[in-house]
Chain A
Amino acid sequence: MVTVALKGLAGRKVRALLTAIAIVLGVAMISGTYILTDTINNGFNTIVVNSYKNADVVISGEAAFKNTNGNGVETPTFPQDVLSEVKALPDVAAAAGSVTSDNVKLIGKDGKVVDTGGAPSLGFSVDPREQQFNPTKLTAGSWPSGGDQVAIDKATASREGFAVGDTIELQTVGPQRSFHISGIAELTGVGSIGGATFALFDLPTAQRVFAKPGQLDVIRIQSKTGVSTAKLVSEIKPLLPPTAAVRDANAQVKEDKKEFDIAFLQYILLAFAGISLFVGAFVIANTLAITIAQRMREFATLRTLGASRRQVLWSVVIEAFVIGLLGSVIGLFLGLGLAKLLNKLFVTFGIDLPQGQTVFATRTVIVSLVVGTVVTLVASIRPARRATRVPPIAAVREGSVLPVSRFARYGPVTALGILAAAIVLVALGTLASGIATGPRLLLLGVGVLLLFFGVSMNAARVVRPLAAVLGAPARSIGGAPGILARDNATRNPARTASTASALMIGLALVTFVAIFSAGTFKSFEGAVDQLFIADYAITATNTFTPIDAAAGKALVGKPGVSDVTPIRAGSSRFLGSDHNLTAVEPNIATGVRLDWKAGNTSVPRRLGNNSFFTDNDFAKSHHLHVGSVVNLEFPSGKHADVRLLGIYEKPNGGSPFGEATISTALFDKYIPRPRDEMVLINTLRRREGADARRVQSELHQADQEGHQPALRAACVVGDRQPGRDHQHARPDDLRAYA
């Protein structure tokens, strides 16, 4: 019987292949997603592993907490004395300390910051005497030595046209500075580091440039032969301050890899793959149902020759299995191409991720094949069950109809029930209040899924009336063919409905993305206009990497500038979890209009060193009220108690503030290298009639004077639109992807 099914399939190669295509796209998206994310992960992995080559044990700064979903946490440093103490240990063969930074912006020859597409602008110190630990190798020139020398990465050098002996401007903490390029280097064993750039310095220069005097970020240690890493780790531990930790190199690699978490990307792409498979399953179920209707005589003949219902069922299921497997295999390999395409897409969106050798993991193969095949099998169950109901007499009589299933009489009730349940779930998910986001999304997800089934199950009943109305013009315009067309649509309402269902899902998806992006864009636009009242905002070129606080400080008191008010971005641990922490100056009201629920506009002025404010959602969910005291923990492990002074209503378009906002004075006391997510500026001239271009050119001129380095590293967003560009970039990307 298996042979019969397989031979039957072989006899309908083209149809089988076309059916398989329905599943190919979904599987290609699964496999493409895995290949892309594995390849990127592997790129990160190579970089991380390479950066600890030859090290047995690694000492690194250790933050008191991470804040992976928010502003992130700058890892604390530790004093450089640790290095000499470690070197003095008898079991240590070699040790080298270095400092690192992800904020060394290279300025191109055009005077603009080299765009990294969201990738970090890395900087680190190298010690030419400790080559065994050096993750880079020179391709030209020599290692940097002395306060005015730098080596830059090969990709940037060739892209921006820099060579050994050239002068390059760099911007890190504090003012922009010139360096001589002593050498060009590349990371050993890594094809591409994505959009990232790096700059190398000798240790004292790096410490000065990164504003980490007398401090180290990492010490790489090689043990003497015969000394176990565990032993070395236990010897080093007592020497360390609380902001540092020691691990064997493998554990450090694992720790560092946590920083490069692209799981979110994987989830988004897999969600698209899931929808695509869902549509594919509908198409397959439909195609199989039609095929079976055409092959009723064949199934009936098999029954007269003694085939049992079970055998007929299996012959359809086996057919589906082969189709599913075939489609999955094609999809699996198509995924290789799709991964490359997706990466190109990301690069055009400015998300340039590191790439190495394409990774084609066993997991990719297994998941793609299993999911594709299982989805096809599930889609075949209903058509297969229909095939078993073909009566033997259909072998001798044309036009036999399938007897209705035992459950058919419950059909209308079930269909309506599912539809009703779906509507209730969706209504609850959208309208009910007091449900947490997780359950709400679950309600919506299950509701929408049921809605698709409910609509497609009930659609059959709508076909006849709908065709009568829509078919009326067909009769008057199309004549006999028009009538035939209308009658064809109504002949088998279930088939018409299920064909339409596949289209319904596709259209629903497109509509969803269009509404989502338009909706978020509109709401952001309105909300952002309401919220930000400053004339200008300074942000990083990519609009989301925080900029050094020196930028805003340098603007204060410049001619033509009336108000400068920064919003600092950092992280803190309080009330049991990690949160975004922001800080403002007393004059924040000149840049941001907040609607105070408790307290008033004087709150920012009265923050001092012991208060904070928060939004109404956070206050409600954590039962905070004015006067509540919260203990903030900073990444360095230090603590400060702050009292709640005011509560503002969280703006619709998203808040520029974290869960807690303190004064910049308190912020800068606990966070060593403070950064701003944006600096808001008002100008004097604007109200006196000067046009936007004039003011802008003045700001640019202030920048040209050389005292406001950050302006060159930042973009000035147009008149009264601070922040808006930032938020609407994402929905557009999503729309393009769909």
Chain B
Amino acid sequence: MEAATAVPAVDVVARAPAAVVAAREVTRRYGEGDTAVDALRGVTLDIEQGKLTAVMGPSGSGKSTLMHILAALDKPTSGSVWIAGNDLGKLNDTETTKLRREHIGFVFQFFNLLPMLTAEENVVLPLTIAGEKPEREWREELLKKVGLQDRRSHRPAELSGGQQQRVAIARALVSKPTVVFADEPTGNLDSKTSGEILDLMRDSVDSLGQTTVMVTHDARAAAIADRILFLADGLIVRDMPRSDPGAVIAAMEELTQG
């Protein structure tokens, strides 16, 4: 629970950064000409291994765009992103697929479970896709951790929102990825369920050492993070260590007013 002190290092040299996830001068422009919108205007960051990093910001701050670019779902207009030493801009489609399999887990706001598969099948899907056989113990441990041992053969439609998100978290963890990206993981849940999901995410960092990046606009969610990055107008404007929800809200208010 050490306060993160890593101030954005402006190490723009071509040499690969040491951090598991790193961004250098990332910009993203949507559209062209007069109607062009700059969602990101030069973001540089390093994500620490084994920590939970939250990215916060008001609507339109560019936090979702940043996350999509970090997770190799989208490409930056300029700048570069590294995951586990791989420069994403230099990977072709096949290499990107390989990178997703080995290094990235993803938790979606709307769960994105496959409706025809059971909870258990959804959990092991990344391994199935990669053509690997999940170890039985690891699978059981995961199901136990997310509390779905009794519901393993239920289909998503038979599960509550919270249960579905737990399946999704287990799915993100199953391949022991370098980093898990969570995109507003509590955005579609009530506050009680949100609390459970946040506990689960915190636990996965603490007990498994899972590096996690979470985008949220919920101060309570951000408060479980080891480090909180604040985005406004496409730039990182503040880098906070672990804080309580009150401090996060204050920081946000300061931002929106400033």
Contact = CB atoms under 8 A, between A and B. Distances in A.
Interface of A: 1, 3-4, 7-8, 10-12, 297-298, 301-309, 311, 391-393, 395-396
A302 B112 CA distance: 9
A500 to B, nearest CB: 32
Given A4-B125, A395-B73, A306 B130 contact: yes
A11 B106 CA distance: 24
Nearest to A10: B116
Contact of B94 (A8, A302, A308, A396): A308
Most buried by B among A304, A306, A309: A306
A392 B104 CA distance: 13
B129 interface: yes
Most buried by A among B71, B112, B126: B112
A145 to B, nearest CB: 79
Interface string B58-92: 00000010001001111000000000000000000
Interface string B92-105: 01100110110010
A293 B72 CA distance: 23
Contacts of B64: 396
B106 A8 contact: no
B114 A306 contact: no
Contacts of A8: 114, 116
Given A304-B106, A305-B171, A308-B94, A393 B74 contact: yes
B50 to A, nearest CB: 23
Contacts of B68: 393, 396
B126 A306 contact: yes
Given A305-B106, A305-B125, 18 more contacts: A1-B128, A4-B125, A11-B115, A12-B116, A302-B114, A304-B71, A304-B100, A304-B112, A305-B126, A306-B126, A306-B129, A308-B93, A308-B94, A311-B129, A392-B72, A393-B74, A396-B109, A396-B183
A559 to B, nearest CB: 88
Contacts of A305: 100, 106, 125-126, 129, 171
A395 B97 contact: no
A231 B183 CA distance: 91
Contacts of A392: 72-73, 100
A7 B116 contact: yes
A1 B116 contact: no
A373 to B, nearest CB: 23
Contact of B108 (A298, A302, A396): A396
B132 to A, nearest CB: 10
Contact of A309 (B93, B100, B104, B126): B93
Contacts of B104: 304
A302 to B, nearest CB: 7
B159 interface: no
Nearest to B125: A305
Given A7-B117, A301-B114, A396 B73 contact: yes
Contacts of B183: 396
Contacts of A396: 64, 68, 73, 108-109, 183
B74 A298 contact: no
Nearest to B96: A392
Interface residues of B, number: 30
A299 to B, nearest CB: 11
14 contacts: A1-B128, A4-B129, A298-B114, A301-B108, A304-B104, A305-B100, A305-B106, A306-B97, A306-B98, A306-B175, A392-B100, A393-B74, A395-B108, A396-B73
A298 B116 CA distance: 11
Contact of B112 (A7, A10, A301): A301
A306 B93 contact: no
Contacts of B130: 306
B84 to A, nearest CB: 15
A289 to B, nearest CB: 21
A12 B109 CA distance: 25
B37 to A, nearest CB: 15
Nearest to B171: A305
Nearest to A305: B126
Contact of A308 (B97, B108, B125): B97
Nearest to A301: B112
A391 B96 CA distance: 12
B116 A395 contact: no
B73 A306 contact: no
Contacts of A12: 116
Contacts of B98: 306
Nearest to A12: B116
Contacts of B73: 304, 391-393, 395-396
A319 to B, nearest CB: 12
A306 B101 contact: yes
B97 A307 contact: yes
B129 A1 contact: yes
Contacts of B117: 4, 7
Contacts of B116: 7-8, 10-12
Contacts of B128: 1, 3-4
B239 to A, nearest CB: 25
B155 to A, nearest CB: 9
A57 B171 CA distance: 78
B129 A307 contact: yes
A537 B134 CA distance: 87
10 smallest CB-CB distances across A and B, nearest first, come from A11-B116, A306-B101, A301-B112, A393-B73, A306-B100, A308-B97, A7-B116, A305-B126, A307-B129, A392-B73
A263 to B, nearest CB: 47
A391 B75 CA distance: 11
A117 to B, nearest CB: 55
B185 to A, nearest CB: 12
B112 to A, nearest CB: 4
Nearest to A3: B128
Nearest to A391: B73
Most buried by B among A301, A395, A396: A396
A395 B68 CA distance: 11
A393 B67 CA distance: 11
Contacts of A301: 108, 112, 114
A308 B92 CA distance: 12
Contacts of A302: 114, 129
Nearest to B67: A396
A399 to B, nearest CB: 14
B75 to A, nearest CB: 10
A11 B155 CA distance: 11
Interface in B180-197: 183
A10 B106 CA distance: 26
Interface in B28-82: 64, 68, 71-74
A715 to B, nearest CB: 67
A306 B172 CA distance: 11
A396 B128 CA distance: 22
Nearest to B103: A306
Most buried by B among A3, A10, A304: A304
B162 to A, nearest CB: 19
A392 B106 CA distance: 12
A4 B127 CA distance: 12
B119 to A, nearest CB: 13
A392 to B, nearest CB: 5
A638 B130 CA distance: 80
A236 B157 CA distance: 84
A395 B74 CA distance: 11
Nearest to A398: B110
A110 to B, nearest CB: 69
B129 A395 contact: no
A307 B93 CA distance: 11
A4 B114 contact: yes
A302 B98 CA distance: 13
Contacts of B126: 305-306
A10 B155 CA distance: 13
A346 B15 CA distance: 82
A298 B100 CA distance: 16
A464 B129 CA distance: 42
B243 to A, nearest CB: 27
A232 B87 CA distance: 88
